[in-house]
Amino acid sequence: MSQAGYDHVQRGRLHPLLHAVAGGTLLGGLAFGDQPYAMAALFVAAAGLSAAAFASHRLRVRDDGDALVLSFGPLPFRRKRVPYADIRSVARGRTTLLDGFGVHWLPFRGWTWNIWGFDCVKVETGSATLRIGTDDPDGLAAFLRARSGAAGERV
């Protein structure tokens, strides 16, 4: 991989389950046809689950010139830019079940952006810790070290 750019998409595996639960919730709402508030609440819940399913199909990690951009999709639920100038260290690592999937912040661990699996790249900036879940940890870590000039280690 050249230093000219990085663009990698990792596919999630939980969205079919979310789609199924959304469908079941929608059908459950139909069963409450004589109770409009219960039916409306279940329809709203089904819409939220469906939106979460469409947001969790993939995690794209790409070079944007002066920063790394993280985005879920195809529904653009969350997006984050990490300027290369802010990166202090880069290390290959592993997330835990505690870190979970999606976007999470935990005390003493920092932010986690993960769509599936436990491989990640741990990025330290001047003010935060970020764990980026990926199925290409070596490639992403090497790109970030080269692009940011950050120190690297294997964790």
β-pair partners for 112: 104, 131
Range of the domain at 94: 76-154
Query: Coil, helix or strand for 71?
Result: strand
pTM of the model: 0.80
Q: What is the pLDDT of residue 53?
A: 86
| In-domain check, residue 38 | no
| In-domain check, residue 10 | no
Structure tokens at 66: 């002066």
Query: Coil, helix or strand for 105?
Result: strand
- Structural domain count of the chain: 1
Q: What is the pLDDT of residues 23-77, one digit of tens each?
A: 999 999 888 888 999 999 999 999 999 888 888 889 999 999 999 999 998 877 7
Q: What is the pLDDT of residue 111?
A: 94
Q: What is the pLDDT of residues 110-135, one digit of tens each?
A: 999 999 999 999 999 988 999 999 99
